[in-house]
Amino acid sequence: MSLKGVIVPLITPMSEDGSLDKVSLFRLLDHVVTGGVSGVFLFGSCGEGPVLSPKEKQQMLRAVCQRIKGSVPVLAGIIEPSTEQAYQLGARFLDIGADYLVTTPPFYYYYSQDEIYTHFLVLADKLKAPLVLYNITRFTKNTIAPETLRKITLAAKNVIAIKDSDGDMERFQEYLFIRDHGHANLYVLQGAEKLAALSLMCGADGVVLGLANVVPDVCKRLYEAAKARDWETALLLQEQLTEVGRLYNVSSWLPSLKAALNILELCKPYCRLPFLPLNSDQKREIQSILQKTGVLVYQSNMPMKTRTTNPVPINGLSCKQ
């Protein structure tokens, strides 16, 4: 299985009581897979991984594997505050059917690079499974230094990718340099949405984009344009994606994302407390963004059930196919 292309960090659909909404989960999976994503990543930031219990995660992973049936790889986050907790969860995920495991440095405490390296080395050795490293310093407080990446890929051949969501292009290019100088089997993935096109132009293998929950086809076309070296189209699609991404700023970003998916009738708007659903004014602002960008196409007097989604073209722009 390849980690190239567009990987969606899937949101976790919830009912009002906080339980997994399996009907919406299946609807969302159908939406992103038919939209062209090349992988599904569970229990990251979009997936509310830090606030789900191990039992809830296993329940969702089973449901996703049941629905996906191997059509695209399933990546499962083992983002835990200790090495042992990450190992225990990873072992369960592998038994259920995850194709890849994704791990950050352990969070809460600050750790040295030697300690971060040890965390990855122990997980790689004990789990014996393809491991994706995840760099997101603002949430973990710990950065994966390029030299640590180089060192761990030499020591553990099953460390096969890094996803970087820091938005630091200088460091991202250092990760690419490592891949291109002796580590050709390493996938380097960009998780910062505003840098998707630029990163692909620089040689990124793929992108992991929260907005692929909403507009997977736009994300796929951006990837394909960049890989075809059609820079004009790639930059146009990046501009369009960034416009859709304005929805993140309406309220807390995750409830805003779920509100957009609720307007598109893909899931309910609920997140795990203390996140709160948007108020009516905020919902209208999200709806306005979806209308103006062409994601939501409907007449204002139409009932909800007759509304249709039509992600491209956006803003009335004609993009190359």
pLDDT for 251 beyond 80: yes
Does 249 reside within a domain? Answer: no
Region 114-136 average pLDDT: 98
Does 111 reside within a domain? Answer: yes
Per annotation, catalytic residue among 163, 220, 258, 283: 163
Q: Which domain holds residue 92?
A: 5-228
Contact 71, 33 (CB under 8 A): yes
d(CA 147, CA 155): 12
Percent residues over pLDDT 90 in the chain: 90
The three-state DSSP-derived secondary structure of 245-266 is HHHHHCCCHHHHHHHHHHHCCC
pLDDT for 319 beyond 50: no
pLDDT for 105 beyond 80: yes
Confidence of residue 297 (pLDDT cuts 50, 70, 90): low
Residue type, 275: F
Does 222 reside within a domain? Answer: yes
d(CA 183, CA 192): 23
pLDDT for 302 beyond 80: no
Comparing 174 with 300, which gets the higher pLDDT? 174
Does 75 reside within a domain? Answer: yes
Does 178 reside within a domain? Answer: yes
Kindly tell me the number of DSSP H helices and DSSP E strands found in the chain. 12, 10
DSSP string for residues in 147-172: HHHHHHHHH-TTEEEEEE-S--HHHH
Strands 296-297, 308-309: pairing is antiparallel
47: which 2 tokens? 């997936």
Region 103-125 average pLDDT: 97
Determine whether 163 is an active site residue.
yes
Confidence of residue 258 (pLDDT cuts 50, 70, 90): very high
Per annotation, catalytic residue among 111, 134, 175, 270: 134
CATH code of the domain in which 193 resides: 3.20.20.70
Region 122-145 average pLDDT: 97
- Which pLDDT tens digit goes with each residue over 157-216? 999 999 999 999 999 999 999 999 999 999 999 999 999 999 999 999 999 999 999 999
Confidence of residue 296 (pLDDT cuts 50, 70, 90): confident
Contact 260, 290 (CB under 8 A): yes
User: What's the structural domain count of the chain?
Assistant: 1
Does 205 reside within a domain? Answer: yes
Determine whether 134 is an active site residue.
yes
Region 95-113 average pLDDT: 97
Region 106-111 average pLDDT: 95
Does 220 reside within a domain? Answer: yes
Does 70 reside within a domain? Answer: yes
Supply the pTM of this predicted model: 0.91
